């Protein structure tokens, strides 16, 4: 009797799964059609007669687009190029809020745990033990860490997290940089740059810990007030929502950005030395320059936009 009841339950479960799949396909198709209509409406706005009607329609379109974004977060979607290369055509959409939030929370804990490990590792290599094998293990850990972050962030984006483009892309650059450092052979030039590299990573881990500690608290308060989305994440930079209460982090961030520039200039000067034969020198120099420019300009843009918004508000008052 128990086995028959279990089989009936399992049969019902499979039936409901098929129904859910059909509903998902139906919703996805409806959203795609609505997006197409919105696009056509956008093109036809130029023919509208009054400015007021255009403004009203644009506001309605923004609301509708936001609603579609929220709906799609719970529907299966085709993986992007990166996830397709890494995972294949696997559905990574989590179908309920609890699962999404649990995965986001686990991502945050993973970042915090690895940040502490990297701080301790870089401190050991910088001040206690000087072995090339340990340096290689440290760089391998960095490669694995940044690779894992890029995969997890891609999954979180598929589940509704709104991560700004640069804060995702700079992890790809960091992965490449760590991989190049891993292949840099032992030699005079490597030893010249070693302590500077380890000191930079020590400082970076410290700043990332500060950011996690204060950003997570700020996000918790803003989510409780309904001002931030449940899937918003802590980042290794500065965003507009951090303006209230977290501006004291800006000096730490700018110091880190200019340290990246210092690393880049050091490596470019080393590349000009007659004894420089390693290609890793110039590749690391270029990577640090990309990180410096991307981080600096993105942070400055956020600060400038927030400043201009505050100026507009003060004029209205």
Contact between 207 and 252 (Cβ < 8 Å): yes
Q: What integer pLDDT is reported at residue 234 of this predicted model?
A: 64
Rounded Cα distance between 60 and 233, Å, is 27
Rounded Cα distance between 26 and 41, Å, is 23
Rg (CA), the chain: 24
Lowest pLDDT segment from 31-35, 116-120, 135-139, 190-194: 31-35
- Give the HSE-up count for residue 90: Cα atoms under 13 Å, Cβ half-sphere: 11
Lowest pLDDT segment from 24-33, 45-54, 117-126: 45-54
Q: What integer pLDDT is reported at residue 134 of this predicted model?
A: 94
195-228 as b/e, with b when 16 or more CB fall inside 10 Å?
A: eebbbbbbbbbbbbbbbbebbeebbeebeeeeeb
Q: What angle do CA 169, 154, 119 make, to 5 degrees?
A: 65
Q: What integer pLDDT is reported at residue 36 of this predicted model?
A: 78
Rounded Cα distance between 175 and 148, Å, is 10
pLDDT of residue 241 exceeding 90: no
């Amino acid at each position: 009797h128990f086995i028959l009841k279990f089989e009936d339950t399992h049969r019902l479960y499979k039936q409901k799964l098929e129904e859910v799949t059909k509903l998902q396909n139906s919703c996805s198709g409806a959203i795609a059609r609505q997006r197409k209509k919105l696009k056509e409406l956008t093109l036809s706005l130029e023919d509208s007669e009054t400015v007021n009607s255009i403004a009203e329609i644009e506001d309605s379109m923004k609301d509708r687009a936001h609603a579609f974004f929220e709906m799609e977060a719970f529907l299966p979607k085709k993986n992007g190029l990166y996830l397709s290369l890494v995972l294949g055509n696997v559905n990574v959409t989590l179908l309920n809020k609890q699962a999404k939030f649990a995965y986001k929370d686990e991502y945050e804990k993973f970042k915090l745990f690895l940040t502490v490990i990297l701080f301790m590792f870089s401190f050991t290599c910088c001040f206690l033990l000087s072995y090339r094998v340990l340096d290689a293990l440290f760089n391998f850990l960095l490669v694995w860490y940044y690779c894992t972050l890029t995969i997890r962030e891609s999954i979180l984006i598929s589940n509704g997290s709104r991560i700004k483009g640069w804060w995702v892309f700079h992890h790809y650059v960091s992965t490449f940089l760590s991989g190049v450092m891993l292949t840099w052979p032992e030699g005079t030039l490597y030893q010249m740059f070693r302590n500077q590299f380890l000191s930079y990573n020590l400082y970076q881990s410290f700043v990332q810990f500060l950011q996690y500690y204060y950003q997570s608290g700020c996000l918790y308060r803003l989510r409780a007030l309904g001002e931030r989305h449940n899937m918003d994440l802590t980042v290794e930079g500065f965003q507009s929502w951090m303006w209230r209460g977290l501006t004291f982090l800006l000096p730490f961030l700018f110091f880190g950005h200019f340290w990246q520039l210092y690393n880049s200039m050091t490596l470019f000067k080393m590349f000009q030395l007659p004894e420089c034969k390693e290609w890793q020198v110039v590749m690391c120099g270029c990577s640090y320059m990309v990180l410096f420019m991307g981080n600096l300009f993105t942070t400055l843009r956020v600060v400038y936009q927030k400043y201009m918004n505050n100026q507009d508000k003060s004029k209205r008052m």
